[in-house]
Amino acid sequence: MTIIALLAAATLFGGMTFYSFGFAPVLFKQLPMESVRPLLRGTFPYYYAAVIAVSGVTALAAISVSGLAAMLFGAIAVSTIYARQILMSQINAATDRGDKSAFGRLHGLSVVIQLVQIGLAGWGVVLLAAT
């Protein structure tokens, strides 16, 4: 089970890191802003669903290996459910009504959540690799 947990954790960490620091920034550099926003808005539900699924599987696989790692991946799953089901719709609503202040605040929160999640995933990979 250690190898499954470690591979799932590495997949999650790599995917989250790539999406945040590779995919999204490249879109902003390569496409006009009027194309980037709808494209990113359309990809987030799928991205969040993948993070929920992989972090959930990782949490389950990690239970027998490291309780702390399992909790970290469980926390990623739960916080991503919040981000997908609640925060994303609030961000989209703020964008749709042109409320730049609310958008900035909510988007900032989503960025902080994402960075914390990446940190937790990295920590989880280290915990699993050390077993």
CA–CA gap between residue 11 and residue 69 (Å, rounded): 15
Angle between helix 67-82 and helix 33-62 axes, rounded to 10 deg: 150
Tokens representing 59? Answer: 């949490």
pLDDT at 122: 98
pLDDT at 1: 75
- pLDDT (average), residues 80-109: 97
Residue 101: pLDDT band (50, 70, 90) is very high
Residue 89: pLDDT band (50, 70, 90) is very high
pLDDT digits (tens, 9 = 90+) for 10-59: 999 999 999 999 999 999 999 998 999 899 999 999 999 999 999 999 99
pLDDT at 49: 98
pLDDT digits (tens, 9 = 90+) for 114-129: 999 999 999 999 999 9
